[in-house]
Structure 1
Amino acid sequence: MLIATGKTAAFLKSPDPKIRCILVFGPDEGLVKERFDILTKTVVEDVSDPFLIADLDGDILKSDPARLSDEAAAISMMGGRRVVRIRDVADSHAKTFVEFLENPPGDALIVVAGGDLAKSSKLRQAFEKSKDFGAAIACYADDNRSLDAVIRDHMKDNQVNITTDAVAYLTENMGSSRGMTRSELEKLVLYAGEDKRLDLDDVTEAIGDTSAFSLDMAVQATAEGDAKQLDLVLNKLWDDGLSPVALIRSMTGHMLKIQQVQAKMEIGSRVDEAVGSLRPPIFWKIKDKFTAQCRFWGKIPTAQVLTILLNAEKDCKRTGLPPEIITGRALQQIAALARRQRRR
């Protein structure tokens, strides 16, 4: 079965005991790892326990498929339920899991980490079509709603009070992988120090030179038509492991805001009034730039940009081309369109 997005949190907290084998997959490698570890800890508290945890990889399964059932049925010499963790699997391993899921031996929990698997993936289908013992969990880049919850929960867990406008800023600027988000949030917890409090000024100062900030720089460079700056920022983001889909979605969110302003201007609002009505509000440091963008981006070109971004995200998931190349081309295409709009 495929665990629905809205039910994932509850499942991770308390997996169905009948489920014996769980595939965690998707383009967000950081989120895959996080959920991989969460599932492990539902059975074994210490993820490095050599008596209760067995780590395998795709090469081992390829050379010895029976190893999966052997490990699942093995009994720990120290007692307790075991976890078998498997990484680097692919469609070539699908048959092994199909056969295993028909009647899995033992009682060990099997956790499998997959990559960005298409709907047609044989490995993914093996788990999604399993009626009794298998489950699949998709891991995609955080949207604003889920990222807001991640930020608030992380700060609450670390007894840090964070202001609403600081959360809004982070939500708008941390649209990358879950792993990168966690890293930035850990830095902010340390930055909060003994005061255990973060406001907007604290947040902007603390992440000013981070990848989260670079993400916004990429969005702004694209919307402004600055091809040189965009190229420089993209190289940094790719080096830092940013998910291309996360960048596409951040750019989409930016253009949707411009579209909202355009709609308000059509019914008589001044551009500054329309920009001021957005929630969450536009960060003050980029408000003037954003307002100028709302003036030179026309309604039709804005719609064209959203189509380019939608197609780019689809291409990242269904073609064999590197998603970084697809995303870079799409953003440079948008930047070229921005330059044409500014010359009008």
Structure 2
Amino acid sequence: MVAIKAHEAERTLARLDPAWRLILIYGPDAGLVSERAGTLARTSVDDPNDAFQLIRMDGDAIAADPLKLADEANTIGLFGGRRAIRVSPTSKPLLAAVEPLLAAPSQDAIVIVEAGDLQRTNPLRTACEKAKTALAVPCYGDAARDLGSIIDEMVRAAGKSIDRTSREHLAGLLGGDRQTSRREIEKLLLYVGAEPAIRDEHIDAIVGDTAQREQAMLVDAVFAGKLPVLDLAQAKLSSEGLDPGVMLGAVLRQALSLLKARQSIDAGRGLRDVVGTMRLPYPRIATTEAALNAWSSAKLSEAVGLLGNAILTTRQNTDMGRAVATRTLWTLARLARSGRPE
């Protein structure tokens, strides 16, 4: 079996075994999947700008006609040399297209397949992990160590410096998606301009707390009953590799906070007075006041129960985590809109 751990990906791709002719790069971090696939494709050919050496194929088109991939992989290049085929992500099944190449690998081309977050039981992932001629590479959200390496690389390339404290501060503000993190660092470098060193004041002025901002957007959307916003926030957080249980936990903390505040209001304290004691950032004051006006203590108690059960379910059955989280968050958002349980 050729399956590796996420932390082994960089080292393995840098020293690729020639026997591996099909590389499946998958995971919730779409930016990292794309970056690794692009790097591997470029280094697998002599001239990445030559369309006869580096062939890009649409995943949807291959899913519709599975034989296209094998036909292209077995085509002999007119001018010889190394060839690479890069297949874009698709939500449609690709197993039928990949199986012929696992049974009879191309000797002329390396095939690189990009995919989203594939569960352990996904047929495509399982087939590639079992094949001796394929490699399955998982891509999850950047850990602090990975972010530190990206920061060092980009800062050094820009001819600037950053001390350890500021580096850790910056890493703490970046999200889990590789491309989003790079864009944030690029904005920071532009902002710093001609100054030789990056300091905390530069970071605070220009780098948004991407992960926390999107998490706050999801939480507020749930209690405001804004289903389109909820869908968008959940999709962004999922693409960054945020665990469904973590999303539910953030909503549960807010539900408990709102319940405590609502009970104080029920006991006779004023809404503004209660919200003032919560020490909220300014943009969230209005959304919290609106939530407290819309949600009763009974409804919030029900929400706490629903979220507690959902979190327990995600821990007991990780494969169902995303589906459970989606169903629970939609139920709460509808409860916010209708005022009665679904």
What TM-score do you get using the length of structure 1 for normalisation?
A: 0.66
Partner of 2:115: 114
Instruction: State yes or no: 1:243 paired with 2:245.
Output: no
Indicate whether 1:180 and 2:180 are aligned: yes
RMSD of equivalent CA atoms: 4.4
- Percent identical residues: 29
Matched residue, 1:139: 139
**Alpha-carbon distance between aligned partners in 2 of 1:151 and 1:328, rounded to the nearest angstrom:** 35
* Equivalence map 1:193-208=2 (5 Å): 193-208=193-208
Shift of 1:164: 1.7
Deviation at 1:306, TM superposition (A): 10
Identify the residue that residue 163 of structure 1 maps to in structure 2.
163
Q: Which residue of 1 aligns with 2:131?
A: 130
Structure 2 counterparts to residues 305-344 of structure 1, below 5 A: 318=320, 321=323, 325=326
Superimposed CA distance per residue, residues 190-240 of structure 1 (whole angstroms, 9 cap, x where no aligned partner): 2232223201111111114x6356258669x89xxx966x989x7697399
| Displacement of 1:146 | 2.2
User: Over residues 26-78 of structure 1, what are the superposed CA-to-partner deviations in whole Å (9 max), with x where a residue is unaligned?
Assistant: 11111111111011122136644312122222343344433222222323334
Whole-Å Cα distance in 2 between the matches of residues 306 and 142 of structure 1? 28
In 2, the alpha carbon distance for the partners of 1:171 and 1:45 equals 35
Q: How many residues align?
A: 286
Equivalent residue for 1:95?
96
> How do 1:244-283 residues align onto structure 2 when only pairs under 5 Å count?
246-248=241-243
- Structure 2 counterpart of 1:211, which letter? T
SS at match of 1:243: helix
CA distance in 2, matches of 1:166, 1:326: 40
Deviation at 1:24, TM superposition (A): 0.6
Aligned to 2:9: 8
Q: Any conservation in 2 of the 1:147–1:171 contact (CA below 8 Å)?
A: yes
Number of the residue aligned with 2:75: 74
- Structure 1 or 2, whichever has the larger Rg, is 2
Three-state SS of the structure 2 residue aligned to 1:112 is strand
What's the offset of the Cα at 1:7?
2.0
Aligned-partner SS, 1:194: coil
Q: Which amino acid aligns with 1:88?
A: P
- Which runs of 5 or more residues in structure 2 are unaligned? 251-278, 281-306, 334-342
Flag the 1:46–1:178 CA change in 2: closer, same or farther, 3 A. Answer: farther
Which residue does the alignment assign to 1:61? 62
Give me the whole-angstrom Cα distance separating, in 2, the residues matched to 1:49 and 1:13: 22
> 1:105, CA displacement in angstroms?
2.9
Aligned equivalent of 1:262: none
Amino acid at match of 1:101: L
Gaps of 5+ in 1: 256-287, 290-304, 333-344
The answer on whether the counterparts of 1:214 and 1:237 sit within 8 Å (CA) in structure 2 is no
Aligned twin of 1:282: none
Kindly indicate whether the alpha-carbon contact (under 8 Å) linking 1:31 and 1:139 is maintained by their aligned counterparts in 2. Answer: yes
Letter aligned with residue 243 of structure 1: S
- Distance of aligned partners of 1:56 and 1:13 in 2 relative to their CA distance in 1, 3 Å threshold: same
Alignment partner, residue 288 of structure 2 = none
Do 2:151 and 2:167's aligned partners in 1 also have CA atoms closer than 8 Å? yes
Other structure's SS at 1:84 match: strand
The structure-2 alpha-carbon separation of the partners of 1:328 and 1:189, relative to structure 1 and needing over 3 Å to count, comes to farther
Over 3 Å counting, the alpha-carbon distance change for 1:18 and 1:327 in structure 2 is farther
Aligned equivalents of 1:322 and 1:118: distance in 2?
A: 15
Quote the Cα distance in structure 2 between the aligned partners of 1:21 and 1:151. Answer: 31
TM (norm. structure 2) is 0.66
Q: Separation in 2 of the partners of 1:35 and 1:186?
A: 19
- What is the alpha-carbon distance in structure 1 between the residues aligned to residue 244 and residue 322 of structure 2? 20
